[in-house]
Amino acid sequence: MTREQILLGSIGVLAVGLAVAVYPTLDQRVINPGDAAPAFSVKTESGNVITQNNFGGKVLVLNFWASWCQPCIEEFGGLNQFAQEAAGQGVVVLGVSVDKNEKGYKRFLSSYRPSFQTARDGEAEIASTYGTFLFPETNIIDKDGKVVKKIIGPIQDWADLRNAVKSL
């Protein structure tokens, strides 16, 4: 075999490898308002198992975040306050961290002390089922399991979030 044939064969093998690696991402679906919320199951820091179907007929505010994400950190105080206000109004706030580093995640929780339930999804499996790849992202899910609002990036207008939840 000539050098050229070896080079072409290597390029072919690399191209096939790239196709195999990229193919699974091609069917990723982004969940938008009006879509049914994908099913998930996650164990919270308090030991509760929360699924998309068992939040008790309440409105679910599902926030994807990470301790290394500066906009997530900036949003955290407002989310904490919102969770405290909404607690008695039929609303569940769940923060799902995509932190791979469990120690960093736990350190963050001990510093910021969330007033809402949190869980770590280190492989971002839940976030990816929602088509979430930019953090933070918040999905408001109604009592019937339908996404009614999606906020990509940090929440800028807390009154808008309150009104969206209140309308449900």
Tens digit of pLDDT for each residue in 31-63? 899 999 999 999 889 888 888 777 767 899 999
Are residues 55 and 123 both part of a single domain? yes
Model confidence at 26: pLDDT above 60: no
With a threshold of 0.85, does the pTM exceed it?
no
Write the CA distances from 52 to 8, 84, 94, 122, 149, integer angstroms: 49, 21, 11, 18, 16
Model confidence at 27: pLDDT above 70: no
Q: Give the pLDDT confidence score for residue 23 in this predicted structure.
A: 56
- The encoded tokens of residue 144 equal 């019937």
Q: Identify the DSSP state of 27.
A: T
- How far is Cα 100 from Cα 144, in angstroms, rounded to an integer? 31
Are residues 24 and 101 both part of a single domain? no
CATH of the domain at 134: 3.40.30.10
Mean pLDDT across 4-13? 82
Residue 18's SS3 state is: helix
What single-letter amino acid sits at 30? V
Are residues 36 and 57 both part of a single domain? yes
Model confidence at 120: pLDDT above 90: yes
Are residues 85 and 113 both part of a single domain? yes
Mean pLDDT across 61-68? 96
Are residues 12 and 64 both part of a single domain? no
Q: Give the pLDDT confidence score for residue 5 in this predicted structure.
A: 81
Q: Give the pLDDT confidence score for residue 11 in this predicted structure.
A: 87
Q: Is 62:141 a contact under the CB 8 Å cutoff? A: yes
Q: Could you tell me if residue 20 is left (phi over 0), alpha (psi between -120 and 50 degrees) or otherwise beta?
A: alpha
Are residues 63 and 125 both part of a single domain? yes
**What percent of the chain has pLDDT above 90?**
64
Q: How confident is the model at residue 22 (pLDDT cuts 50, 70, 90)?
A: low
Q: Give the pLDDT confidence score for residue 79 in this predicted structure.
A: 96
Say how many C-beta atoms besides its own lie within 10 A of residue 26's C-beta. 6
Q: How confident is the model at residue 12 (pLDDT cuts 50, 70, 90)?
A: confident
Are residues 3 and 49 both part of a single domain? no
Are residues 143 and 116 both part of a single domain? yes
Q: Give the pLDDT confidence score for residue 25 in this predicted structure.
A: 55
Q: How confident is the model at residue 30 (pLDDT cuts 50, 70, 90)?
A: confident
Q: Smallest Cα–Cα separation from 74: which of 154, 161, 157? A: 154
Are residues 73 and 156 both part of a single domain? yes
Q: Which structural domain, as residue segments, surrounds residue 4?
A: 1-28
